[in-house]
């Protein structure tokens, strides 16, 4: 996820989603991920304190600042390039499972009271953003300990 002052996703030249401030989330769904992983990541996304408070320290969440989330499904996060020069995506979930968990993640964020914009699942998208800080955080539900 990235802390942004602006993020927009377009599909075929038309805006599919846009936020004026908050978090841009590139969400990869892996084989074996479950609704529990989606809930964990949504909870972390909503509560993670990556925005600065009055003292300049990161003490505020996207919810605290009244920000939004732009959630983009991105299976390429599972690209494995340890062998050869072309990525293998064997670690990514199949499209049906990935879409279901992506939608669950978005639903959980909305249930937490956040405004959520999205891209279009399985579409070729153009994502533009202005990263603030820059602040980029990696969340991985498989690394809970």
From the list 75, 78, 108, 118, the catalytic residue is: 75
Active site residue 76: yes
pLDDT band at 143 (very low <50, low <70, confident <90, very high): confident
Question: CA–CA separation, 32 vs 9, rounded Å?
Answer: 28
Question: CA–CA separation, 82 vs 1, rounded Å?
Answer: 24
Give the model's pLDDT for residue 142: 84
Q: Is 59 helix (H, G, I), strand (E, B) or coil?
A: strand
Q: Would you state the structure tokens that stand for residue 105, as one six-digit string? A: 């993640």
Question: CA–CA separation, 141 vs 134, rounded Å?
Answer: 23
| pLDDT tens string 98-131 | 999 999 999 999 999 999 999 999 999 999 999 9
**Quick check: 31 and 93 in contact, CB under 8 A?**
yes
Angle (deg, nearest 10), helices 95-111 and 35-47: 40
Query: What is the pTM for the complete model shown?
Result: 0.94
Residue 28: HSE in the Cβ half-sphere, 13 Å Cα cutoff: 18
From the list 2, 45, 74, 108, the catalytic residue is: 74
Active site residue 75: yes
For 6, other C-beta atoms within 10 Å of its C-beta total 16
From the list 76, 89, 121, 136, the catalytic residue is: 76
Give the model's pLDDT for residue 44: 96
| pLDDT tens string 57-91 | 999 999 999 999 999 999 999 999 999 999 999 99
Active site residue 108: no
The fold of 2-136 is 3.50.80
């Amino acid at each position: 996820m990235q802390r942004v002052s602006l993020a927009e996703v377009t599909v075929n030249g038309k805006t599919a989603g846009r936020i004026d401030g908050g978090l841009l989330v590139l969400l990869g769904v892996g084989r074996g991920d479950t609704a529990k992983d989606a809930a964990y990541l949504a909870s972390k996304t909503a509560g993670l304190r990556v925005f600065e408070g009055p003292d300049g320290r990161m003490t505020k969440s996207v919810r605290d600042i009244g920000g939004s989330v732009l959630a983009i499904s991105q299976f390429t996060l599972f690209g494995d390039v340890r062998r050869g020069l072309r990525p293998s995506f064997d670690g990514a979930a199949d499209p049906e499972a990935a879409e279901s968990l992506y939608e669950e993640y978005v639903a959980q964020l909305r249930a937490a009271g956040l405004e959520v914009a999205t891209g279009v699942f399985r579409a070729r998208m153009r994502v533009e953003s202005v990263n603030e800080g820059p602040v980029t955080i990696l969340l991985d539900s498989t690394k809970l300990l």
